[in-house]
Amino acid sequence: MPTACVVQICEDVKALVAAIVAAEGGVVERVYVPKHLLETLGTLIVSVAHRADDRNRETRKLWSADYTIDVAVQKSIATDADVDALVLFTESLADLIADTPLPTLKATPRTVKVDPTYVPEHLESQQAFTSVITAVYRLGRTPAE
């Protein structure tokens, strides 16, 4: 059965970040809706989810598609030093994503944004760090693809 382009892009992003996440003792997952209970955030969890795709006609026969992928970083925190470390970790993930074209479909990152850097409400009420990296990947396509 063929795989949707967006599913393959998410799988490639998951594979791309897997080693750096594992080095921090975390897990990476591809999800449709990232939902985690506070109790499960003792471990670093990185969730890869598709948010949108936008198709644009380039020529009569060529389309481009921009796929928006969110990479959520979540973990329980105890101190400001924990937050500092997670902000640095998120920055390193964003750099890796920005600098690496994806292998399977040859999708290239057009933009990479970290927003929010962290969610203040989660820090205050749940002692949990949450950050979202949004990457937009471009893929050239013809209508038959």
Q: How many domains does the chain have?
A: 1
The model's pLDDT over 7-63, given as tens digits with 9 standing for 90+, comes to 999 999 999 999 999 999 999 999 998 787 777 788 999 999 999 999 888 888 888
Q: Are 108 and 128 in contact (CB under 8 A)?
A: no
Give the list of residues 6+ apart from residue 131 with CB closer than 8 angstroms, or none.
72, 73, 74, 86, 87, 90, 114, 116, 117, 118, 119
- Please report, for the domain that includes residue 56, its CATH number: 3.30.2000.10
The model's pLDDT over 51-100, given as tens digits with 9 standing for 90+, comes to 999 988 888 888 889 999 999 999 999 999 999 999 999 999 999 999 99
Range of the domain at 133: 5-141
- Cβ atoms within 10 Å of 61's Cβ, excluding its own: 9
